[in-house]
Structure 1
Amino acid sequence: MMNQKIKEFSLNALEPLQRVSQNGAKETYEFDIDCFEMKNYNHVSVLKESDFSKVFDIITKISGPCLYYFEIQSDHSAEEIVDRVNKYRLIKDSKAVPAIKKNFSKSKILYVGKVKKAIWGRLVQHLGYYKVPRTQGLQLFYWTQGTNLSLKMKVLEFEHEMADYMGVLETKLAKELKPILGKHS
């Protein structure tokens, strides 16, 4: 019975995966994120009343499942990033940040992630403006203060039928890009 279910799941995965192998992502987007003077948007809507409102005007319209990653554009090394994240973790009441790779590479990729829908909510978490401190995100507002860290967020949107396969694609992309932060085993 279970073997039959596995065969059925695999067969159903073939068609959407074949379309992606032929056509790639449905849409791609890029957003610049300058962390130098991030303001505290914890008490206003970061979607409408912030320096990020133009990004959210676009990203709130993305409806499909997505893979995304943050690429470091400035001259910051992986060691500098890890040091700042570790110092932030020591602060009482700090918000949850992704795991640091044990043997983090010299990569310029900060983080790789995926969502089944509503990528805008995930961006709120990564920027550090989500209200629940246990929800993991990059928390950029907190540990990038006083730096000139510059990032590019790259988003690949897929058709809705790919939602259940984002985990597999995220793992493969992370193995290829070797991000500094996040578990991808």
Structure 2
Amino acid sequence: MELDKVFESISDDIVSKKVLVYSESFNIKDLPHHTEFSVHPNTLPEFNHLFRPLDKKNNDCLYWFELESNEKAKELNNLLNEYRLSNIKNNANFRNIPATNKNENSNVLYVGVRRKSKSKAPKLTNIVGRINQHFGYYKNKNTQGLQLIHFAGKLDFKLTLNVVEIVSSNNIYLNIIEKKVANKLKPLCGRH
């Protein structure tokens, strides 16, 4: 079988959710305020429904954030772009956020991947740590993520986080699958 057709089939199955896709919704307005990054949503009981299943994912993961409509996704992406521009203009304490792109008319904000940890030490699983970074709960401002609490704060945006665990002996395939899925979902930010 032609290799490109194999990856096309895999990405089709992911996008159409024919494979097991973990999906859970949350609202940005419900994310807790952090005081010097001492609070993380994965440690709070009200977010157990979101993070407990993610703690069980020990392999590579592909994930995406989507909103209920193209209009809401565009509105949130516009806020992200305003955040980027205001920080560049003011030379502010800028947090690294996903790059802009030319995609339009999509309800998907961002597509990403997370490789499994090679460390045997007990800690946050890779996907939980990565989602915390996207929420904006990470001290290092240079680590790229959506940084939702930093530009959308307590605004009323309902997002759905979708996660697919990808079990493979070679994680080089993860980037190919990410590009194929991003090509189909057309996220409004990030480069693929």
Q: Could you tell me the TM-score, scaled by structure 1's length?
A: 0.78
* 2:115 aligned residue: 116
Q: Is the 8 A contact 1:74 1:148 kept in 2?
A: no
Runs of 5+ unmatched residues, structure 2 = 117-125
* 1:44 aligned residue: 39
Tell me by how many angstroms 1:58 deviates.
Answer: 1.4
* 1:106 aligned residue: 105
* 1:165 aligned residue: 173
Q: Any residues of structure 2 matched to 1:8-27 within 5 Å, and which?
A: 21=10, 27=20
1:159/1:152 CA distance change after superposition, 3 Å? same
Structure 2: distance between partners of 1:39 and 1:74: 24
* 2:22 aligned residue: 29
Runs of 5+ unmatched residues, structure 1 = 1-13
Q: Is the 8 A contact 2:67 2:73 kept in 1?
A: no
Larger radius of gyration: 1
Q: Is the 8 A contact 1:96 1:135 kept in 2?
A: yes
**Which deviates more from structure 2 when the two are superposed, residues 110-119 or residues 44-53?**
44-53
The one-letter amino acid paired with 1:67 is: L
* 2:156 aligned residue: 148
**Which deviates more from structure 2 when the two are superposed, residues 158-167 or residues 68-77?**
68-77
**Which deviates more from structure 2 when the two are superposed, residues 146-155 or residues 42-51?**
42-51
Structure 1: distance between partners of 2:69 and 2:20: 26
- Find the residue that maps to 2:100 and give its secondary structure: coil
1:78/1:158 CA distance change after superposition, 3 Å? closer
Report how many residues are paired: 165
Tell me by how many angstroms 1:75 deviates.
Answer: 7.0
1:45/1:116 CA distance change after superposition, 3 Å? same
Q: Is the 8 A contact 2:134 2:145 kept in 1?
A: yes
**Which deviates more from structure 2 when the two are superposed, residues 62-71 or residues 30-39?**
30-39
CA RMSD of aligned residues (A): 2.3
Structure 2: distance between partners of 1:149 and 1:168: 30
Tell me by how many angstroms 1:162 deviates.
Answer: 4.7
Q: Is the 8 A contact 1:124 1:130 kept in 2?
A: yes
- Find the residue that maps to 1:166 and give its secondary structure: helix
1:149/1:156 CA distance change after superposition, 3 Å? same
**Which deviates more from structure 2 when the two are superposed, residues 81-90 or residues 166-175?**
81-90
1:54/1:79 CA distance change after superposition, 3 Å? closer
**Which of 142, 165, 188 is matched with 1:180 structurally?**
188
